[in-house]
Amino acid sequence: MADFDLVIRGGTVVTASDTIVCDVGVKDGVIAALGSKLAKGAKEIDATGKLVLPGGIDSHVHVDQLSSSGAYTADTFLSGTRSAMCGGTTGIIPFAAQFKGQSLRKTVEDYHAKADGQAMTDYAFHLIISDPTESVIGQELPALIKDGYTSFKIYLTYDALKLNDRQFLEVLAAARREGAMVMVHAENHDMIAWLSEKLLEFGHTAPKFHRVAHANIAEGEATNRAIALAELVDQPILMVHVSAKEAIERIRAAKARGVKVYAETCPQYLFLTEDDLDKDGFEGAKCMCSPPPRDKDNQEFVWQGLADGTFDVFSSDHAPYRYDSPTGKRVGGADTSFKKVANGVPGLEIRMPMLFSAGVLTGRIDINKFVALCCTNPAKMYGLYPRKGTIAVGADADIAIWDAEKKVTISIDMLHDDMDYTPYEGHEVTGWPIISMVRGAIVWNDGEVLAKPGDGKFLRCDVPATARPRGTSVHGFNPTSGDYIKF
């Protein structure tokens, strides 16, 4: 009888810290051995000359979700996870999104019903908290955290979602008390609302004005405020979809003085610019997301932030709204003003190949950093590590085998989501995963989807170590214990 269910032989195994040629032995869905000349497996894969990477974790994904604009994502748990695994991502963390007046528990149950029997990769959930009432903060949230929902996102903009600073402080204090990571959408709501109103008054309705309304400084201000509030409470936060130089500088400065602020960026801030919003007619809507793509100078800042450790996580913020659909981009009408266009771009499948090609192959980041940003750090940020996000004995055998020389021209026809466009049409990349596996089962093999709906399992997240407070807040007051230390 074979010692292993599967042996991946002779590939270059890469983790966030090491690169080594070795065999990987898998048994019962778990990595059972790493070494040379491992005993025989019931199944063997020759990975000579190939890269053997942890499966990616995409920790910012919207699927089967109603947005506050009324638009609905084209992707379900089925098509979203299918698309993910074809691009080397074997675990996703989408949102269970609460709307005002809704119970958080009921929201989570609804999202489970959508995912059950559908997902092809494993998945966990973040909570979106838009209504932090006393019962949500005092009862529902602590119970949900204990049940494995240990991260939540709050918004500082969008009418239906935004929290004021006082509400944000309550959420931060609850996260500190119970142990959870708080993700922040940081844009100054009133700056955007005011600019939008003025732009529309002057008849500036085209998609390109979305970029003008969502000014860099609106992101910079809200980022600064979020960091200040988190510092006050001494609670770690993670700034999501960071795009602007003004935000990056503030995050970098906070990190330098020891604040536990983490940051995420996304493909749209590396590969799209404001010029993509300035296309004929409504075309620019295809690249409209919030925060918006900015200019080349800001793109360069994002690249530097990836290289120097300002960014911890690279996610897609996959928000798949079809272009030609009244429940997608055109939710506000056929050729509506920028203010009524559904915000979001798809990116689940291209996230890792695009960063690999433009980041690793050009030498902007090394391959270990690539693994850290796309696989290991997302697992660490949200309490899935070391079960997910690495190649180590005892970890789930979620693995992607990459052909680093494979040339691919991205087009909507070759992607596996349920969208009618990709903002990256015609973009050429080198390097693509040829095999993806989830818990040792091959789900994507050389162009063929092998997983079945329901193969993916729900993951309960631990309290992430990254969410632990530093211990003392800047003003000496511990909001959890009530202790006060006078400096």
Residues that bind ligand DUC in the complex, under the rule CB under 6 A:
62, 185, 289-290, 317, 319, 343-344
Helix (H) or strand (E) holding 219: helix 216-233
Q: Which amino acid is at 275?
A: D
| Mode of pairing for the β-strands spanning 399-409 and 89-97 | unpaired
Q: Which is nearer to ligand DUC, 50 or 322 (CB)?
A: 322
Beta carbon of residue 337, minimum distance to Zn ion (angstroms, whole number): 21
What six digits make up the tokens of 372?
Answer: 């850290």
**Angle CA 272–273–276, to nearest 5:** 85
CB of 487 to ligand DUC, least distance (A): 38
**Hey, which residues does 13 pair with through a beta bridge?**
20, 52
Is residue 306 a contact partner of residue 374, using CB atoms and an 8 Å limit? no
Counted residue by residue, the chain has a size of 487
Instruction: Please identify, using beta-carbon distances, which residue of 22 and 161 lies nearer to Zn ion.
Output: 161
Q: In angstroms, what CA-CA distances link 201 with 160, 196, 197, 335, 465?
A: 23, 9, 6, 17, 49
The distance of closest approach from Cβ of residue 378 to Zn ion in the complex, given in angstroms and rounded to an integer, is 14
Question: CB-based contacts of 113: which residues, under 8 Å, 6+ apart?
Answer: none
Could you give the CA distance from residue 238 to residue 242 in angstroms, rounded to a whole number?
10
Q: Which is nearer to Zn ion, 185 or 210 (CB)?
A: 185
Give the whole-angstrom CA distance, residue 84 versus residue 367.
Answer: 20
- Contacts to Zn ion from residues 132-191, by CB under 5 A: 185
Instruction: Give the containing element (helix H, strand E) for 20.
Output: strand 19-27
Rounded to a whole number of angstroms, the minimum distance from the CB of residue 330 to ligand DUC is: 16
Binding mask 261-300 for Zn ion (x = CB under 5 A): ----------------------------------------
Of 169 and 345, CB closest to ligand DUC: 345
User: Based on CB atoms, which residue is closest to Zn ion, 27 or 185?
Assistant: 185
Residue 60 or 369 having the CB closest to ligand DUC: 60
If contact means CB under 5 to 8 A according to the sort of partner, which of Zn ion, ligand DUC, none does residue 343 touch? ligand DUC
Mapping DSSP onto H, E and C, the string for 236-258 reads CEEECCCCCHHHHHHHHHHHHCC
The nearest distance, CB 208 to ligand DUC, in angstroms, is 16
Residue 140 interacts, among Zn ion, ligand DUC, none and using kind-specific CB cut-offs from 5 to 8 Å, with none
Tell the smallest beta-carbon distance from residue 62 to Zn ion (Å). Answer: 6
Q: Confirm or reject binding of residue 351 to Zn ion (CB under 5 A).
A: no
CB of 319 to ligand DUC, least distance (A): 3
| 97 versus 443: smaller Cβ distance to ligand DUC | 97
Site for Zn ion, residues 311 to 330, rule: CB under 5 A: 317
Which one-letter amino acid corresponds to residue 324? Answer: D
User: 180-214: string of b/e by CB count within 10 Å (b at 16+)?
Assistant: bbbbbbbbbbebbeebbeebeeeebebbbbbbbbb
Whether 102 contacts 133, CB under 8 Å: no
Q: How many Cβ atoms from other residues are within 10 Å of residue 452's Cβ?
A: 12
What is the nearest approach in angstroms of ligand DUC to the Cβ of residue 97? Answer: 10
CB of residue 69 vs ligand DUC: minimum separation in angstroms? 10
- Partner whose footprint covers residue 376, from ligand DUC, Zn ion, none (CB < 5 to 8 Å by kind): none
The partner in contact with residue 150, picked from ligand DUC, Zn ion, none with C-beta cut-offs of 5 to 8 angstroms by kind, is none
In the structure encoding, which two tokens stand for residue 320, read together?
Answer: 């798949």
Nearer to Zn ion, 222 or 358 (CB): 222
Q: Which DSSP symbol is given to 416? A: -
Build a one-symbol-per-residue string for 7-26: x at contacts with Zn ion by CB under 5 A, - elsewhere: --------------------
Burial degree of 37 (CB within 10 A; 0-12, 13-18, 19+): exposed
The partner in contact with residue 289, picked from Zn ion, ligand DUC, none with C-beta cut-offs of 5 to 8 angstroms by kind, is ligand DUC
Judged by beta carbon, residue 260 or residue 329, the one nearer ligand DUC is: 329
Binding site for Zn ion (CB under 5 A): 185, 317
